[in-house]
Amino acid sequence: MNKRIAITGIGVVTPIGIGNIAFTKALKEGKSGVSIIESFDTNAYSTKFAAVIKNFYPEQFIDKKKLKRMARFTQLGFAATKLAIEDSALDLSKEDLSRIGVITGTGIGGLDVIEEEEQTLLTKGPRRVSPFLIPMIITNILPGEIAINYGFTGPNYAIASACASSNHAMGDALGLLRGGDVDIVVTGGAEGAIVPLGLAGFCSIKALSQRNNEPQKASRPFDKNRDGFVMGEGAGIIVLETLEHALNRGAKIYAEFAGYGASNDAYHITAPEPEGKAAGFAMEKAITDAGISKEEVDYINAHGTSTILNDKTETFVIKKVFGERAYKIPISSTKSMTGHLLGGAAVVELAATLLTMREGFIHPTINYETPDPDCDLDYVPNAARIKQINCALSNSLGFGGHNATIVIKRYVK
């Protein structure tokens, strides 16, 4: 359990950039990935926009025959995996593939396929439903497809815990590596649920912003005039290795994956527990697990959804955990730019933290215009800030009361 764990590869497919270079540039510029939905008619919807990935050509990453048998979330996650493995410079011909695991998170899975095949059933009958329906929609098909493609025979499964899914996946990966079960884990998450049914569901629970006249300004975490989150799609994958394994192969190291904590509010299916006791426990546990002091945390990537309750509660919890020092810690929300990637959110936000740590800046929380008395911390408003991050904390809080926090720190020999 004393093993040090290195992060050696990152792959992202997001509404603000595909690949690390484009994604990092967008983060520094404070670019919004939100736009009016064009893939289906939104006239009857209270929200008409989302953070959709543009210029994504899955055939660049996936064989055309396989592509037809993959739901959107699998396509995105598979592409992010290819980018992450390339970035890690792993030579798989030299690896014991039984010592490589794959753990991914997805909140919803193949909703696009469910919707399409339901229409087929209703209009053409059961005999016309695709024989690939079930394997396309199940959440574990992403790690399965990754394993099949690369020949990884180590532990392989998916986790579903709504918006905390990919933090939980990465936390499990940390445990496997520390326990000596594997040398490498390919981990992260993906989501692709911007379809009529998905949008309708979130509209019905009144979770989404309705700023239809200014969609790029709709995701505004911690701003007093926030009115809901923005649906997004995307994927992120990271490559984790034991530090020993990474050093032996001469890998570049982004940072150490130092700590992890998880909990549940046991309170409500969608609303956070007002006192944030369990969320605070997850943060405290991650800090303890990392073997650091609270004074060492010099940046927080917040869950920061742009909903009234989440932002207020998360701010309260951060102050509860860090006391007066909370006012001195820069905090930002990647969701202000990418929208909420649901099961893919946590890993993309960790990727943002890793890449900005490497480049020496903190990305902004865009659209922060009007301070909220209940949200009174330093949210790095609207413009990137030049600062070296040495130790960062990343929060994810999901429907069902799921909380998961990760701590990373700069690698020092």
Other Cβ atoms less than 10 A from the Cβ of 193: the count is: 29
Rg (CA), the chain: 20
For 8, 78, 99, 249, 253, the CA distances from 96, given in Å and listed in that order, are 17, 21, 6, 13, 21
Which candidate in 303, 363, 391, 402 is catalytic? 303
Angle CA 311–111–405, to nearest 5: 35
Rounded CA gap, 310 and 268, in Å?
13
Check if 340 is active-site. yes
- Residue 400 φ/ψ region, left for φ over 0, alpha for ψ in the -120 to 50 degree band, beta for the rest: left
Annotation says 303 is catalytic? yes
Nearest to 163 by CA among 336, 307, 343, 303: 343
For residues 355 and 358, what is the distance between their CA atoms, to the nearest angstrom? Answer: 5
Q: Which of 349, 345, 268 is nearest to 313 (CA)?
A: 268
Taking the C-alpha atoms of residue 218 and residue 369, their distance in angstroms, rounded to an integer, is 12
Token pair belonging to 340 = 């909420």
**Of these residues, 168, 203, 245, 340, which one is catalytic?**
340
What does the alpha-carbon distance between residue 140 and residue 135 come to, in Å, rounded to a whole number? 9
363 is catalytic: no
- Please answer whether residues 220 and 56 qualify as being in contact, where contact means their C-beta atoms are separated by less than 8 angstroms: no
Q: How far apart are CA 398 and CA 216, in angstroms?
A: 24
**DSSP strand pairing (255-264 vs 5-14):** antiparallel
Residue 64 CA to residue 55 CA, distance in Å, equals 17
Tokens of 79: 């592409």
Catalytic residues: 163, 303, 340
